[in-house]
Chain A
């Protein structure tokens, strides 16, 4: 049914286009000036039709009416807005920014962040300190092959490490105080020697 309507509509369009071409040709005298006008202009001497119309308009396509890809119909305001901003029911959602309702608060600093990700406030603080430490480690290391663990030593902490511990690790000393949020207990594992003697306990009373 719809296809039939489309075919009829297409035929009707083609007919209109064809008639438009015919009318255009009748007005312009078949691509040139009309014979009467031509006679008047050339002083009564008839001549062949000109190749291009004097008005400068391009010659119409002779065989069939053909429309290039141009907007045929006005796009309604509703449709225009829909294309611009999207709709809730679209497969990829709206184009507008949606509010996030799943934010959680960092227990350390109180700023909000997305679940499953890092809190950006805490991360920026850690990042600046980490970059500073990485720079200090790289500067001390140079191109020599690293063969020991690195232990970061802030100002005033060197005295707490004895020589045996200092030999087991590579100390990178920083000329500044340890940040208060960077707990020293976290450093305990790297500066103390690992317990080498361990005795596995065998299970007993298994029946």
Chain B
């Protein structure tokens, strides 16, 4: 019952801060919302954006929620369509949300976006905020961090492999010697039958 109910509620598969980020803006909370809207729109349009880290982290939850709503309810749902209309300022992207992103993530069991941190830029008198990269998973662009980091040829792994191989070789020789000795014993004297009582 609870699992079925859980499927109806959109769940964020990302860590969410207990308190919202103080994104200061001259227009106050409305300006903050405008910034977040433009960030979500840029993410859906470009599939990979680089901005201030806190702004991306804040907008990420809204983008995830929007996609999850689109998957759960589809484009016939009034509330979902209203939300899409609100968050996507470029209206042709509403089509992309329902026709491209919702099918893409329908079977996903993890978050739909990935967030990366960029290192601080060492400029003179640098006072810039930390930056990050937010991307939609499954985008057609070259990967930011591919998992194919081959650690097989690192020196300690080579040495460990060799040590493991030698250990195994020694063990096999030992086992073979034991088996040979057992075979010699068994051929010397006939096997005894276990007594019936």
Collect the chain B residues with CB atoms within 8 Å of residue A183's CB: 146
Task: Enumerate chain A residues within 8 angstroms of B117, measured Cβ to Cβ.
Answer: 116-118
Q: Specify the chain B residue showing the minimal Cβ separation from A106.
A: B149
B100 is an interface residue with CB less than 8 A from chain A: yes
CB < 8 Å neighbour of B144 from A123, A137, A152: A123
Q: Smallest CB–CB gap between A109 and chain B, Å? A: 12
Of the candidate stretches A24-32, A59-67, A81-89, A139-147, the one touching chain B is A139-147
Q: Would A145 and B96 count as touching, CB distance under 8 A?
A: yes
Does B170 sit at the interface, judged by CB under 8 A?
no
Determine whether A151 belongs to the interface, using a CB cutoff of 8 Å to chain B. yes
A15 on the interface (CB 8 Å rule)?
Answer: no
Q: How many residues of A contact B (CB 8 A)?
A: 36
* Interchain CA distance A207-B47 in the complex, whole Å: 49
Q: Is the CB of B100 within 8 A of A146?
A: yes
Instruction: Tell me the chain B residues, 50-105 only, with Cβ under 8 Å from chain A.
Output: 50, 92-96, 99-100, 104
Given contacts A108-B149, A145-B95, contact A190 B140 (CB under 8 A): yes
Q: Which of B50, B96, B100, B146 has a CB less than 8 Å from the CB of A127?
A: B50
Assuming the contacts A116-B117, A118-B118, A147-B99, asked whether A126 and B149 have C-beta atoms less than 8 A apart, the reply is no
Q: Which residues of B contact A148 (CB under 8 A)?
A: 99-100
Q: Is the CB of B92 within 8 A of A144?
A: yes
Q: Nearest chain-B residue to A145 (Cβ)?
A: B95
Query: Are A123 and B118 interface neighbours, CB within 8 A?
Result: yes
Whether B48 and A146, one on each chain, are in contact in the complex, defined by CB atoms closer than 8 angstroms, is no
Interface window among A34-42, A43-51, A72-80, A128-136: A128-136
- Would you call A186 an interface residue if the criterion is a C-beta within 8 Å of the partner chain's C-beta atoms? yes
**Among candidates A107, A122, A130, A147, residue contacting B150 with C-beta atoms closer than 8 Å:** A107
Q: How far is the CA of A187 from the CA of B141 in the complex (A)?
A: 9
How distant is the Cα of A44 from the Cα of B116 in the complex, in angstroms? 92
Contact partners of B118 in chain A: CB under 8 A: 117-118, 120, 123
Q: Is the CB of B141 within 8 A of A130?
A: yes
Q: Quick one: which of B95, B133, B150, B151 contacts A118, CB cutoff 8 A?
A: B133
Asked if B100 and A149 make an inter-chain contact with CB atoms under 8 angstroms apart, the answer reads yes
- Rounded to whole angstroms, the CA-CA distance of A126 and B93 in the bound complex is 25
Q: Give per-residue flags for B127-162: 1 if the beta carbon is below 8 A from chain A beta carbons, else 0.
A: 000000100001011111110011100000000000
Type the 1/0 row for A143-178, where 1 means its CB is closer than 8 Å to any CB of B.
111111111100000000000000000000000000
Interface membership of A182, Cβ < 8 A: yes
B150 proximity list for chain A (CB < 8 A): 107
List residues of chain B with CB within 8 A of the CB of A16: none
Interfacial residues of chain A within 98-130, with CB under 8 A of chain B in the complex: 107-108, 113-114, 116-118, 120, 122-123, 126-127, 129-130
CA distance A148 to B96 in the complex (A): 8
Q: Within the assembled complex, what's the spacing in Å between the Cα atoms of A20 and B57?
A: 65
Q: Is B46 an interface residue (CB 8 A)?
A: yes
- Among candidates A130, A144, A190, residue contacting B48 with C-beta atoms closer than 8 Å: A130
- Are A143 and B48 neighbours in the complex by a CB distance under 8 Å? no
Residue of B nearest to A125 (CB): B142
A150 / chain B contacts, CB cutoff of 8 Å: 140
- Specify which chain A residues have a CB less than 8 angstroms from the CB of B149 in the assembled complex: 107-108
Chain A contacts to B: CB under 8 angstroms: 107-108, 113-114, 116-118, 120, 122-123, 126-127, 129-130, 133-134, 137-138, 143-152, 179, 181-183, 186-187, 189-190
15 pairs, CB–CB < 8 Å, chain A vs chain B: A107-B150, A108-B149, A117-B116, A118-B116, A123-B118, A126-B143, A127-B50, A129-B141, A145-B93, A145-B99, A146-B96, A147-B99, A149-B100, A152-B140, A189-B138
